[in-house]
Structure 1
Amino acid sequence: MKTATPALARAINDRLALDLLLEQGPLTAPQLRDLTGLSRPTVSDLLERLQSDGLIEVAGESGEARRGPNARLYGLVTGRAHVAGVDVRRGRLHVTVADITGAEIAATTREMPGDPDLPSFIAETVTAAAGDHDLHTVALGVPGLVNPRTGLTTDSGLPGWRPDLAAALRAVLPADVILENEVNLATVAEHRLGSAAGHDDCVLLWLDDGVGAGVVLGGRLRRGASGGAGEVGFLQADGIDYCNFLEEGRMRALTPEAVADRITTAVFTLVAVLDPGLVVLGGAAGRAGGPHMAALVQDRLDARSPARTQVRATTVEGNPILQGAVLTALDRTRDTIYG
């Protein structure tokens, strides 16, 4: 059996300490020793190394009566890097800028012009939102399929759309650019922050101005060979595409029971193929239906499916696409900077 080299062991220990500081905030050296199980000399070395690299700093002292080196609180250098999450849909461009800890430092929304140079419009809006902060990574949520191999996208119906949007943005934005399907990003937010937290396998059924699904299996977002995983909007029920069958405006005139019948049709399809164990109802309709609608769908699904599956309503507050974009950008940035 091969053992870790000293350099690899140091890198693992450093990332362990950085992740703890991300999760818990500033910590003392004794607290880091207790949480990591590392020895006093090892913790002392990693603290010195991380300070020299500009990743952590002394953030004050603990409230302990005893003063000295052990009372120093070490925290992350929050301005070490910044990211932006972008949601491009509904005629508006939404941008959130965050520091490396995930704390929001700026946000803006702009109306989309009729026929924009879309890459330039996005770049100008993101740059203005970031202000004096250089951005390490920008993650965008967009409608349509995003091919995970080529980065090319299908037609989203947005004004000024182009299939090579990701490449075009990289040419005008001095940052790493990630382009992702909007429902996939909402799924990332639900999996980290919402009803699917703690579940390795789950599906988010997105019921909004578009209909789709995001798939997490084995703790990982699954995109498919061409970015089409979860695109249930293309399926049909009673000769009608799901994207129309479950469209929010069509369901508004139905009774809650009739709406639950329709949603169960889509949920059963996902359960029969994927057996995820958990389906979360998201988007505007999923949020509006809440736990009551989830319970109605649960009853109908239990009567049809032999695979036991929980059905829950979304619990992510605010814009889940934008939050998923920020989380995705943070993952890329932290892996690059923290190792």
Structure 2
Amino acid sequence: MKTATPAMARAINDRLALDLLLAEGPLTAPQLRTLTGLSRPTVSDLLERLQADGLIQVTGEYGEDRRGPNARLYGLVAGRAHVAGVDVRRGSLHVTVADIIGGVAGSATKVAEPDDLASFIAATVAEAAAGRELHTVVLGAPGLVDPRTGLTTDSGLPGWRPDLAAAVREALADRLTVQDLVLENEVNLATVAEHRVGSAAGHEDFALLWLDDGVGAGVVLGGRLRRGVSGGAGEVGFLDSGGVEFCNLMEARFTEGLALEAAADRIVKGVLTLVAVLDPGLVVLGGRTGREGGDELAALVADRLSARSPAPTAVRPTTVEGNAILQGAVLTALDRTRDAIYG
């Protein structure tokens, strides 16, 4: 069995401290020693090292309201790096820029259907960045994104192209510095948000059924997002139900103004498929329908599911506030940036 080298041990300790500062906010050296179990010299060395690397800084003092010497508070340098999350959909584009600790630093929204989608995205990202360099940009859009090549199937959006990620990267090169850019299926990003800050927080296994202007599913098993070999995992919209694709059944939720009971009758068809194949234990109803239907719709779907499936499965509505796709894009960009910068 290999033992950790001194350099590896330092890297592990540094990341442990950085993750604690992300989760807890500014901490003193004694607090870091208590939370990490590391010795006084080890914590002293890592604080000096992280300050020299520009990753942390003294943000204040602890115990300013009592007599005696105060302990310094150490916090992360928020401006050490910035990221952007992008939600690309028909007729609109939404961008959020965040610093490395997740604070919103800029945003932009455009309503248009451009012929040159890549340039349109690049210009909007640059506007939201407002002169800041971006370490990572994550684009969320409809369509299957091949995890091996980054190429995507036709989403039906105006100006779409299979090499959209590469085209946006090239268009951004003339506007600002970006080190990392990835394209991800939008439902997968909504699934990331649900897993981190929504109804599936704390669950290692679950499926998100996305019910919005498109229909799809995201799958998390063993705590990891599963994309499939070609990016097609969770494409339940193509399911055939009595000669009608499931996505077309759900579109009637909006066009026909279906009552919740009728919507539940249709939704359970997709949920049953996810449960029969994956047995995730939890299905979250996301998108506009899941949010508007709330607990009442989730309960109706759960009742219908329990009558048809022996696998115990909780059904919950989404609890992600705001744009789940955009939040998932920012969270994914932050994960990639922190791994690159924090080690």
Q: Name the structure 2 match of 1:301.
A: 305
Mapped contact 1:95–1:107 kept (Cα < 8 A)? yes
1:109 and 2:113 matched:
no
When the two structures are superposed, what TM-score results if normalisation uses the length of structure 1? 0.97
For residues 320 and 40 of structure 1, the distance between their equivalents in structure 2, rounded to whole angstroms, comes to 42
Q: Name the structure 2 match of 1:26.
A: 26
Superposition pairs for residues 1-339 of structure 1, below 5 Å? Answer: 1-64=1-64, 65=66, 67-68=68-69, 71-115=71-115, 117-173=116-172, 174-175=177-178, 176-247=180-251, 249=253, 252-339=256-343
For residues 248 and 73 of structure 1, the distance between their equivalents in structure 2, rounded to whole angstroms, comes to 56
Higher alpha-carbon deviation: 277-286 or 171-180: 171-180
For residues 312 and 246 of structure 1, the distance between their equivalents in structure 2, rounded to whole angstroms, comes to 18
For residues 123 and 92 of structure 1, the distance between their equivalents in structure 2, rounded to whole angstroms, comes to 14
When the two structures are superposed, what TM-score results if normalisation uses the length of structure 2? 0.96
Deviation for aligned residue 1:253: 3.0
Deviation for aligned residue 1:113: 3.7
Residues 146-167 of structure 1: CA deviation (Å, up to 9, x unaligned): 0000100011111111000111
Mapped contact 1:208–1:248 kept (Cα < 8 A)? no
Q: What RMSD, in angstroms, separates the aligned Cα atoms of the two structures?
A: 1.2
Deviation for aligned residue 1:177: 0.4
Mapped contact 2:114–2:120 kept (Cα < 8 A)? no
Residues 293-327 of structure 1: CA deviation (Å, up to 9, x unaligned): 00011111111111111000000000000000000
Residue correspondences, number:
337
Deviation for aligned residue 1:118: 1.4
Q: Aligned with 1:26: secondary structure?
A: coil
Instruction: Indicate how the Cα distance of structure 1 residues 186 and 318 shifts in structure 2: closer, same or farther if over 3 A, else same.
Output: same
For residues 97 and 167 of structure 1, the distance between their equivalents in structure 2, rounded to whole angstroms, comes to 20
Higher alpha-carbon deviation: 167-176 or 277-286: 167-176
- AA aligned opposite 1:53: D
Q: Aligned with 2:54: secondary structure?
A: coil
Q: Structure 2 stretches of 5 or more lacking a match?
A: none
- AA aligned opposite 2:316: R
Deviation for aligned residue 1:172: 2.6
Q: Aligned with 1:108: secondary structure?
A: strand
For residues 238 and 192 of structure 1, the distance between their equivalents in structure 2, rounded to whole angstroms, comes to 36
Deviation for aligned residue 1:279: 0.2
For residues 248 and 20 of structure 1, the distance between their equivalents in structure 2, rounded to whole angstroms, comes to 47
- AA aligned opposite 2:83: V
- AA aligned opposite 1:93: L
Instruction: Indicate how the Cα distance of structure 1 residues 248 and 83 shifts in structure 2: closer, same or farther if over 3 A, else same.
Output: farther
Deviation for aligned residue 1:90: 3.0
Deviation for aligned residue 1:249: 4.0
Q: Aligned with 2:307: secondary structure?
A: helix
